[in-house]
Structure 1
Amino acid sequence: MSREERVGAARSPVAITGIECVFPGAEDKDALWDLLMRGGDAMRSVPDARWDTEHVVAPGPDVLPGTMNTRLGGYLDDIDLFDNDLFGIAPREAAAMDPQLRLLLQCAWRAMEDAGTGPRALGGSRTGVFVGAMGNEWALRMGCFDAITPHLGSGTGHGMMANRISYQFDLRGPSVSVDTACSSSLVAVDMARTALARGECDHALVCGVNVILTPALGIFYTQAGLSAPDGRCKPFSSRADGIGRGEGAAVVVLRRLDDALAAGDRVYAVIRGGAVNHGGRSNGFAAPNRISQREVITAAYAEAGVEPADVRFVEAHGTGTVLGDMIETAALGDVHAVPREQPCAVGSVKGNLGHTEGAAGTAALIKTALALHHGVLPASLHSRHENSALRLAERGLRLVKAPLRLPSGDMFGAVSSFGLGGTNAHLLLSGAPSAPRRGNGAKGAVSDAAAREPQLFTLSAPDPESLRRNLARQAVHVTRQRELDLPAMCHTSRRVKAGLKHRFSVTVTSRDALAEVLGLASRDDTVFARHTGRAAVPKVGLLFTGQGSQYPGMTADVYRRSAVYRRFLTETDEALGPHLGDSVVRLLLDEDPRVREPAYAQPMLFAVEHALGRTLLSYGVEPAFVLGHSIGEFGAACLTGALSLADAARLVCLRGALMQRLPAGGGMLAVLAPLDDVLGLVADEPLLGVAAINGPRNVVVSGDGKALSRVNEALAARGVRSRRLEVSHAFHSPLMAPVVEEFAAAAASVSPQTSGTPLLSTVLGGPLDDAPLDAAYWTRHITAPVLFADAARAALALEPTHLVEVGPRPVLKSLVSALQPPPGLRRLSTCSGKNATAEDLLEVVAALYRAGLDLAPQAPYTAQTEAPHRLAPYVFSPTRRFDTTVVPVRPAAPGPDPAVSAGTGPPDTELPELPGLPGLPDDLVHRTVVSVVAEVGGYSPAEILPDTVLYDLGYDSLTLLLVGRKLQDCFPRLAGAEPATGRAAAELRVRDLVAWVGEHLDGPLATQNSGVHA
């Protein structure tokens, strides 16, 4: 096996699944494509904020020492903008970070969104980061020794770029920065391919970046005779006279092709092969080598197994220097001047953007991938004046002078990138393979109602203002989607836009409805409040309703219009069918009145509640506990896995059938009185028993009808309210005794399972603990009273934030109200009653999401679609600005504090109240701590509240060390004390620091302030 065969066998095709970038005149990938298709020229003068061009620019034929020959280049707008709050980075730390890194963090966020994954979703995964960068002008700040800070040191240098991205997103794969000059980012792509092939990572973020902070390299290019006087690259043109510099940042997301297709990812293009080499000792250190360029191209094609004649176009390095163009076209001709039907098209993105140096490889790669994705190759700017000396035609080449329609089917394009010092890289790409359409995931669409299935759309941001900004952007995006796949869009929103603290969710059935509510929420406080919340850690208890809540046709609309509920109900129906001798689904859709008979009511209730519960779990709901009222306990136990579906189906059907065979004549009476007032009356009636204790003044008596009448009359005489319940039999009474023996025999084969979810038993009136859900338990369940009040009190003692009633209508919510639940407890219902809709069920998920529920990564997606929808990218803060000055040429006026630059409040804002310390002025310690914390992070003191967690301010161990040192400077008596700042930032609050200072000054805080202690 040859070397090429060995390399080819070691690598598999790699898919480009996500792209984001910012280049001159193009704020994102879509704007870049528009710029390329219209032949846009992004060159302009040096922005005033960069440096004073008066002293360094000397246009004209004479090359003066220390000068550059042009003011023009491809410059970005607003390189000082950075949304530090989104990344949890303190303002002062953000101000010390290389602007290139700040740009890359934002591009990485959007690239992951574009790839269909939440930017936080890859945390902890084997995701690699590969950064190609060339310029390192930010390091010049390190030359001012007095200004060096820990943040400046950790925010400077190529290595910190890859490492910071990996750290920020908690990525555990390789983290590498590459500097091979102009070929850096394409070499980084090749390194990422290798890491993916070797299994070192499963995703890779490949980045390229270049920001021009000083005129230094421009002066170098001029002095070396490489700089174009008009600041423009003119690739392969007769007017080519040098390099025009450009800026930019780009991130592409790569996956192994097989993995991408299996996951249903959208694929822009596929990298089929590649190679990297060096020019060796050529005719000059900065001069390219034709032989090496030819060899790297040949090696890339060999790895991919593609013949040169099959390569339709090459995105060339194309700097526009006379020597560079000559050598590059000669090398391309050496490979492509073979018998072929059409010449190989050649162009270069540098004509539009300038030479973006460290980002040049990714710029070329993105252009190539988008061309393959759209099926058209944009014209190469300045190509109309072709340099005839290059002899392109005889070399099998032609310049792209107008947009070129690319043929469908198998078609290949290539990318070249050559470094100033001699490192060459070449990649071969093809279009994305056709992806199979997804099925709808449900068994048989039941009607056109399924087309109106409600969808859950989510959005999140770190703060309310950011959320409003992104709501407005998505409203515009949705409005522009004339042929919108709503399920695909909403599924993407749940995967991509769902993880931050301030959350929006809405249930919709149409594009117009979604666009309207997004727009209203972005500008109307009432609508915004209705659909938003601040995420905490929800603790959810599920309550399963008992018999009596059923009705004909219950959940029919949910079945017709919720594919996931339909799937789970169908599965449950299949388990019940052999024992019931009928179909629950058919009975439900036919609104069969037999739902009131125990033989059908109990299986139907179980089926509905089990399917509702499974639907909640499929969205990511993880109950802290479950509780079932009577027959509802079967649904609760089955949902936790403590009882198998097969056993539950068999027992529920048998239970209902046995009870229906009992003679009529029994009844049930609800009594609004304390249990003690009822027990005396029941004790004298052997055919009566207490069936349920639902509250402190809510007792159900069950048994013989005549005996119930006598008790009812006695209660009326005492002025006690009671009412007969509409039931067919006297459940949970002595009249159930005849069925116990047969049921116990059938239940003997039950195999109870261990469940990690606590089950609160209404038989025991509290936690099940180690009591097995065996035949004895389920047999006792028939005659034992339902101790709902006791079980519910035990549930409330677990301090849930939400109780969700799982059943066809809300019943238990009102019973819980009588138990004096805490004021903040939210009570939700999966169904509202006879008019219950699919929206009711989905709105429970929406409410839990707003409260902090993290939706399952594969939350239900049942639509038929070819690929996920790409939403509008995240809109970063337009106001948070940070200094980008490195070495000012003119004397600089004192700059603003980075916290003020970031848009925070004034430093003298009144502080929130926090109790003082004995022997000290009331707020001296508090104010000092707040001042230090604010100063170290670059915040306004108004933002530092007593319960602020330092981790939420972006503080880490390094920042906490600075806080500790400054507090010791303020309070020398703290020297030698065990530092409170040694605790993890994720746990440490501002009030903990105040307490720590107090304990080491004049003793502990006053007694009334003991709550300040951690």
Structure 2
Amino acid sequence: MGRTSGPSQYPVAVVGLDCRFPGAPGPEAYWRLLLSGAHAIGERPASRGASAVPGGFLTDADAFDRAFFAVPTADARAMDPQQRLLLECSWRAIEDAGISPTRLAGGSVGTYVGSMSDDWMRLSLAAPEGVSPRTGTGSGRSMLANRIAYQLDLRGPSLTVDTACSSSLVAVHLACTALRTGECDLALAGGVNIVVGSVLDEIYAQAGLAAPDGRWKPFSEAADGIGRGEGVGVVALRLLEDAVRDGDPVHAVILGSAVNQDGRSNGIMAPHRASQREVIATACRRAGAAPQDIRFIEAHGTGTPLGDQIEVLSLGDVFRDEQGVREWPLAVGAVKGAIGHTEGAAGMAGLIKTVLSLRHGVVPASPWSGEENPRLGLARRSMELITEPLALPADGCRAGVSSFGMGGTNAHVVLATAPLPAAPAEPGPGVGVFTLSADTPRALRRNLRLQAVDVAGRTGEELARLCWTSNRSRAALPYRFATAADGPEELASRLFAAAELETEYDERTAAAEEPVLAFAFTGQGAQYPRMTAGLYEGSTVYRTFLEEASKALQPYTVTPVHEAILAGDPVVHRTGTTQPALFAVQYALARTLMELGVRPAAVVGHSIGEFAAAVVAEALDLADAARLVAVRGAFMQQLQEGGGMLATRARPAEAAALVADEPTVGVGALNGPGATVLSGDLAALERIRAKLEERGLMCTPLRVSHAFHSPLMAPMLGRFERVASRIPAGRPRLPFHSTVRGRLLTPGEELDAAYWTEHICATVRFEDAITSLCDRPPTHIVEIGPKPVLSNLIRRIGAAREIPALGVCRNEDSGLRELGELLAHLHQDGLDPAWDTFYPDAGKQAVRMPAHAFSTEWRSWHQQLTTAAPAPRPAGSPAAAHGVAAPDRVRQGVREAVATVRGGRHDELDDALRFYDDLGFDSVMLMELKYRLEVRFPELGELSMPEMLSSLVSVESLIAYLSEQLIAAVAR
């Protein structure tokens, strides 16, 4: 919804930024350059045209991580380097805002880019034979903003602004306006300039605007014109109230802005004092800032005697202090003295310098050339140049940024120091899960090293916030690293170690799109005093769910179950308490994982574990399950003690034969190969044990109070069934692999009173249930219980041997660390958890972390494109004599055309490659392919695209189609 009242009521927060300027490959390097007071003007690279005039030039401007953005080679070669730079810069600015760029896909995000250069288009059109559909998408200023929106799938307004030198600051103004009117929720505003040719140098020289030494000397007595520079910068913007509400980091605040035009002045290229005065005054008025509130101005700094004088006069008109209200002179700086005039990016260079100055509380001295121009009269106008670092007030201040365009479009922005965030509760040392990903193993290792260096300098109090920021701001790409840590030293060590693993990430496949998980709920015997106490103390989510289960059990227990568990009382080993306690723990663990985004696609439960499994599968509600479990445990405890259970290596058939002669003994559980449990009368078990040991089969008596899942449970069945009959029957909504039936329940089968009654004496057919689960195998099995009991059994079952079995808890000390390790494992394998749930509120505050380091291996600059002439037909061949191409000529012609369109070498193409699935062709590429085939085979005339489509399956099918067409052409 748009804001209808005055713009000044809706300040805009700069929540993220990134930039590259001469001598500064990133924001921190830019800040160091500015603080140094040095300039980055140097010799012009040979790739920047014929002019020998120095300037400020980017290194690696030809590099682009095309694979990261999934841009085909041929497309990347055709792309204006300005598009490439903006893509990488936009990605990093979004990350700096604490947002994963992939989360913005499909969202209302605006894209506003300032630029004034069409050099790439001009050079691309210089060779008509090289023109292709990519010439339109790869160059032209309109595509600068649209390329960002397309690649990142941003659905808000998208436009490139060209007002010459003021373009990028006008883009900021338009972005702020769009945010205030509700056209978008987040906006990217940027500017870019790359010098590709020398045409503009010649224009500046002929107009008398070029500085002979390439140095820009604003407000200096030696000022003699423009020194050109390159650069790119992007800021991510949100309404301040939205940013504060969502806890976004805020670099600085834009209070107001204005744009106007000189109109008819002293020449279309000449500045206009009245218009400059008015745009500054209007911006201040919209910002609610009185002239004396502005501490410093980042000036346009025309760098010519006339332009500097008019700018000073217009500033004096607005800020000159006739009544002595100002406490200090208006400080004036100009970044062009350090990096040159970056033209379409000039306003962004000044804006980012100002944002960084407000954030750091100091304005760097500008690298002035020579003495101040005395004719400007700065002192008598209450102004001074920033010749040494200017400390800003501790409680913040306001500043202005000006940018004036050749042609008369002026822009001014008023900024303020970011408001101090409400002091959050200190999380203290805690556990976090640090995540990082990349598109290739090599890129992952490169970024692991970068992050390791940063983490090594962090404090323990920052750890949770740093980890939360990594979860929130980093896209989940195919090759992933994740680890739980409770200190920066440990985390840094793990990052460094992972970065040195040269083969692990290469050999491991990329993460699956989404793991398919099964929950396996532990049975009786896994309990112990204070089980999950560490998790109860460390996780408010787990605590909430354990107490919820305890409350549901309260009507049937003397002491609240969670209190009995945490008290360390051995009573948890008494059946009447054991079963409710295990159920409560399993319910709480499962619900905690589900809140964290770890959701099962299927469930299986071992004995008492089936009740919690039934709740997760929505066949029982919590209250009904609690009643059944509590009554079941109480009735079992009331049975006469004296029975036992015997773990044996007997095979199922062998065990069945042994118990056939002992009516008081049953097969309690078939857990897997060599893992059979017999249950029943102690004397009878001793007789069976003796027989098995005579056969060399090891037996181990289990410490139990009763003979569970045996005929000795029969006395309680009637009583239990009467209680169970009052509980509604339910059908699982998730695949439920029953350990009573030893298979997947069919869609019509219910968990009713008969099932739960049969459950008491029935054999636990765990091996069969797991084998059934593996008919459609999950990618992971997560054991839900207070310690890993089932995982070892699962690994012994043939069908599940290759499936990772993961636990949540190991012992009473297991807490957030172990939970974090589980999340880290699953995230590395493709899961994207609901990370916010893992951290306490105090840990959910974004911190700055190094941006993604893109690959610089792939490089491309402007090349003269030519289209190969049709291959000559072999002389003397019968086919050539009749105008029919030989098969080799068709094959080579098709391959070369495909390679020209797609990029790469024609001799590396496999004829079996499919155009859509393997080569990634789209409609534009197909039309270009059609054109290039017509050039190579002129005897065919114009090809019919509808006819071609059925043959555009693979390279081989296209070769066959063209061969037929050539034969038909001769026959005509």
1:821 to 768, 781, 799: 799
Deviation at residue 617 of structure 1 after TM alignment: 3.3
Once the two structures are overlaid, the 10-residue window that deviates more, 247-256 or 413-422, is: 413-422
Equivalent-residue separation in structure 2 for 1:981 and 1:543 (angstroms): 51
Partner Cα distance (2:31, 2:729) in 1: 61
* CA spacing shift, 1:571–1:72, aligned 2, 3 Å: farther
Q: Equivalent residue for 2:10?
A: 12
Return 369-378 or 817-826, whichever deviates more.
Answer: 817-826
Residues 763, 781 of structure 1: 8 Å contact kept: yes
Q: Kindly indicate whether residue 391 of structure 2 is the aligned counterpart of residue 405 of structure 1.
A: yes
The 3-state SS of whatever aligns with 2:774 is helix
Partner of 2:116: 134
How far apart are the structure 2 equivalents of 1:372 and 1:222?
Answer: 37
Distance of aligned partners of 1:981 and 1:513 in 2 relative to their CA distance in 1, 3 Å threshold: farther
2:542 and 2:224 mapped to 1: Cα distance?
67
Q: 1:858 maps to what in 2? A: 836
Residues 469-492 of structure 1: CA distance to partner in whole angstroms, max 9, x if unpaired? 222222222234467712222222
Q: Does 1:845 align with 2:816?
A: no
Structure 2 Cα separation of the partners of residues 332 and 803 of structure 1: 69
**Change in 2 beyond 3 A, CA 1:753/1:258:** farther
Residue of structure 2 in register with 1:119 after alignment:
101
Contact 2:7 2:256 in 1 (8 A): no
Structure 1 window deviating more from structure 2 (271-280 vs 494-503): it is 494-503
**1:23 matched residue in structure 2:** 21
- 1:777 shift after superposition: 5.1
Contact 1:116 1:495 (8 Å CA) reproduced: yes
**SS of residue matched to 2:100:** coil
CA distance 1:823–1:549, change in 2 (3 Å): closer
Match for residue 326 of structure 1?
Answer: 309
CA 1:657–1:822: 2 relative to 1, 3 Å: closer
**8 Å Cα contact 2:913/2:955 also seen in 1:** no
Task: Identify the residue that residue 959 of structure 1 maps to in structure 2.
Answer: 925
The residue type equivalent to 1:269 in the other structure is A
Q: Secondary structure at the match of 2:480?
A: strand
Distance 1:216 1:752 in 2: 82
Matched-pair contact (CA < 8 Å) for 1:458–1:493: yes
Describe the superposition over 1:150-201 as per-residue Cα deviations: whole angstroms up to 9, x where unpaired.
2222111111111111111121221111111111111111211122222222
Structural mapping, 1:633-782, within 5 Å: 633-640=610-617, 642-679=619-656, 682=659, 687-695=664-672, 698-706=675-683, 708-709=685-686, 723-737=700-714, 739=716, 757-764=734-741, 765-767=743-745, 769-773=747-751, 778-782=756-760
Q: 1:393 aligns with which of 373, 379, 397?
A: 379
Mean Cα deviation higher: 268-277 or 481-490: 481-490
Quote the sequence identity (%). 46
Q: How far off its partner does 1:135 sit?
A: 0.7
The TM-score, its normalising length taken from structure 1, stands at: 0.83
SS in 1 for 2:498: helix
Superposition deviation, residue 528 in structure 1: 6.0
Whether 1:499 and 2:476 are equivalent positions in the alignment is yes
Contact map agreement 1:619 1:855 (CA 8 A) in 2: yes
How far off its partner does 1:308 sit?
2.1
The alpha-carbon distance between structure 1 residues 142 and 699, as it changes in their structure 2 partners (threshold 3 A), is same
> Could you say what secondary structure the match of 1:355 adopts?
coil
Give secondary structure in 1 for the equivalent of 2:57. Answer: coil
1:810 positional shift: 2.8
CA distance in 2, matches of 1:875, 1:238: 42
CA distances 1:686-725 after superposition (whole Å, capped 9, x unpaired): 6555444434765444444455556556666777665443
Q: Residues 975 and 948 from structure 1, CA distance in 2 versus in 1: closer, same or farther, beyond 3 angstroms?
A: closer
2:57 maps to 1:75: yes
- Secondary structure of 1:845's partner? helix
Residue 433 in structure 1 maps to residue 419 in structure 2: yes
Hey, what's the Cα distance between the residues in 2 that align with 1:802 and 1:943?
38
> 2 CA distance for matches of 1:381 and 1:267?
28
Query: Secondary structure at the residue paired with 1:120?
Result: helix
Shift of 1:248: 0.2
Q: CA deviation at 1:315?
A: 1.5
SS, match of residue 273 in structure 1: strand
Q: Any conservation in 2 of the 1:616–1:845 contact (CA below 8 Å)?
A: no
Runs of at least 5 residues in structure 2 that lack an aligned partner in the other structure: 869-887, 965-972
Shift in alpha-carbon separation, 1:15–1:956, aligned structure 2, 3 A:
farther
Shift of 1:537: 4.1
Structure 2 counterpart of 1:827, one-letter code: A
C-alpha distance in 1, partners of 2:35/2:598? 47
**Residues 901, 929 of structure 2: 8 Å contact kept:** yes
Q: Which amino acid aligns with 2:76?
A: A
Contact 2:536–2:815, Cα closer than 8 Å, also in 1: no
Is residue 951–residue 958 contact of structure 2 (8 Å, CA) maintained in 1? Answer: no
Counterpart among 180, 184, 189 of residue 206 in structure 1: 189
Residue by residue over 1:246-289, the C-alpha shift from the partner in whole angstroms, topping out at 9 and shown as x without a partner, is: 11001111112122122221110111111222222222212222
1:371 to 1:577, Cα distance in 2 relative to 1, 3 A: farther
* 1:769-823 C-alpha deviation (Å, 9 max, x unpaired): 3545566654554444433333222210112222222223333234334542266
1:672 offset after TM fit, Å?
Answer: 4.3
Partner of 1:260: 243
Q: 1:742 Cα shift?
A: 5.6
Residues 181-227 of structure 1: per-residue CA shift (max 9 Å, x gap): 11111111121112222222222111110001111111111211222
C-alpha spacing 1:662/1:268, structure 2 compared with 1 (3 Å): same
Tell me the residue number matched to 2:72. Answer: 90
Indicate the SS of the match to 2:861. coil
Contact 1:667 1:708 in 2 (8 A): yes
Q: What does residue 905 of structure 1 align with?
A: none
Cα distance 1:526–1:241, how it changes in 2: closer, same or farther (>3 A)? closer
Supply the distance in 2 between the matched residues of 1:943 and 1:263 (Cα, whole angstroms). Answer: 50
Q: Paired residue for 2:954?
A: 993
Separation in 2, partners of 1:791, 1:621: 22
Worse-superposed segment, 675-684 or 381-390: 675-684
Give 3-state SS (helix, strand or coil) of 1:864's partner: helix
Alignment partner, residue 305 of structure 1:
288
Which amino acid letter does the alignment assign opposite residue 14 of structure 1? V
Contact 2:740 2:765 in 1 (8 A): yes
How far apart in 1 are the matches of 2:851 and 2:307? 37
Cα distance in 1 for residues equivalent to 2:120 and 2:574: 79
SS in 1 for 2:68: helix
Question: 1:737 Cα shift?
Answer: 4.8
Is the aligned partner of 1:419 residue 2:405? Answer: yes
Partner of 1:538: 515
My pick for the range that moved more, 723-732 or 125-134, is 723-732
What SS does structure 1 have at the residue aligned with 2:528?
coil
Question: Cα RMSD between the aligned structures?
Answer: 4.0
Letter in 1 for 2:49: W
Q: Distance in 1 between matches of 2:142 and 2:351?
A: 23
CA distance in 1 between counterparts of 2:900 and 2:745 reads 50
Q: Which moved more, 1:696-705 or 1:398-407?
A: 696-705
1:937 and 2:902 correspond: yes
- SS of aligned partner of 2:519: strand
| 8 Å Cα contact 1:460-1:503 kept in structure 2 | yes
Matches within 5 A, 1:855-1004: 855-856=833-834, 858=836, 860-862=838-840, 864-865=842-843, 867-884=845-862, 936-939=901-904, 956-959=922-925, 979=949, 993=954
Q: 1:511 is aligned with what amino acid?
A: P
Amino acid aligned to 2:858: R
Asked if residue 179 in structure 1 is aligned to residue 162 in structure 2, the reply is yes
Match of 2:786 in 1: 808
